[in-house]
Amino acid sequence: MRRLFQFLYQYRAFLSFFVLELLCLWLIVNNNPYQGAKYFNSSNRYAALFLNTSNNISEYFGLKSVNQKLAEENAELKKHVSRLNQKLFGLNAGYIESELFNQFEFVTAKVIKNSVRQSQNYITINKGSQGGVEVGMAVIDKDGIVGKVKTVSKNFSLITSILHTDVMVSAKLKRTGDLCTVEWPGQSPYTASVNYLPKHVAIQEGDSIVTSGYNAVFPEGMPVGIIKDFQLKEDSPFYDITVDLTGDLNRLSYVYLVKNNLMVELDSVQLEEREVQQ
């Protein structure tokens, strides 16, 4: 306290001058309309600028929670769209099975590690068995397919990316329904190869390749790629096709894990079919 009084006494002239200056400014602003208007306009402008900057900073630091909420909402919407598509299919086919309405469930997760430059790429997410993730679940993002769950721990999961030279995806040409297989040749993370599309099929650049639904992993109709170029060799029964992948795996942030509630039943039927063929 003594030092405070010493400070005030030492700078009493300057402090008195400063207080008188503030008093003069206040009298000028309050007793002169022009100066008062200029002052309030300027103060409001700077106050608005400060509040806008403050809000922008707050919004920036709140983006994580906003993105998480949007991802969860998108997962719920995808679930409803899947149910509606299954219901429409049942109506068109002349039957309705309530089990099909709940065939697929969607879980959101955040990508915490991702590789795209190796020959065998993997993705790590921040959800595991405790979050409802299971081995074999399909993984997609807002643009298309991403991969398949390989291993699961309590809080994390490892995904085999479609940018993996050993991964093959059952697909089809969306316009005609002809079946094919999509594989990654191990080069650009933005393109893949389409195999086994027969030469009698009329294809063109810009055609869409989607999942066929002929396995228990990916739902039918998920975007895979857009035909970039193709060629047909004389001695080959199939096209050589390159597609631009619809999803940019180099920029993954959030993904959706797709659980097929009928996977066990479908796998058992397919296993029985293979045993009969043998």
Banded model confidence at residue 16, pLDDT cuts 50, 70, 90? confident
Enumerate domains of the chain plus CATH numbers.
103-277 (2.40.10.340)
Whole-number pLDDT of residue 13: 77
pLDDT tens for 212-225 read 988 768 888 889 99
- 209 has a pLDDT exceeding 50: yes
- 88 has a pLDDT exceeding 50: no
Banded model confidence at residue 36, pLDDT cuts 50, 70, 90? low
Helix/strand/coil percentages in the chain, nearest 5: 40, 30, 30
C-alpha–C-alpha distance, residues 80 and 250, integer Å:
28
- 190 has a pLDDT exceeding 90: yes
pLDDT tens for 158-167 read 999 999 999 9
Mean pLDDT in residue range 37-58: 56
- More confident call, 120 vs 95: 120
Mean pLDDT in residue range 122-131: 92
- 248 has a pLDDT exceeding 80: yes
DSSP summary character for residue 204: -
Q: Which residues contact 90 (CB under 8 A, 6 or more apart)?
A: 96, 97, 100
C-alpha–C-alpha distance, residues 35 and 175, integer Å:
71
- More confident call, 186 vs 104: 186
Whole-number pLDDT of residue 99: 45
Q: What is the 3-state secondary structure (H, E, C) of 110-159?
A: EEEEECCCCCEEEEEECCCHHHCCCCCCEEECCCCEEEEEEEECCCCEEE
C-alpha–C-alpha distance, residues 211 and 144, integer Å:
10
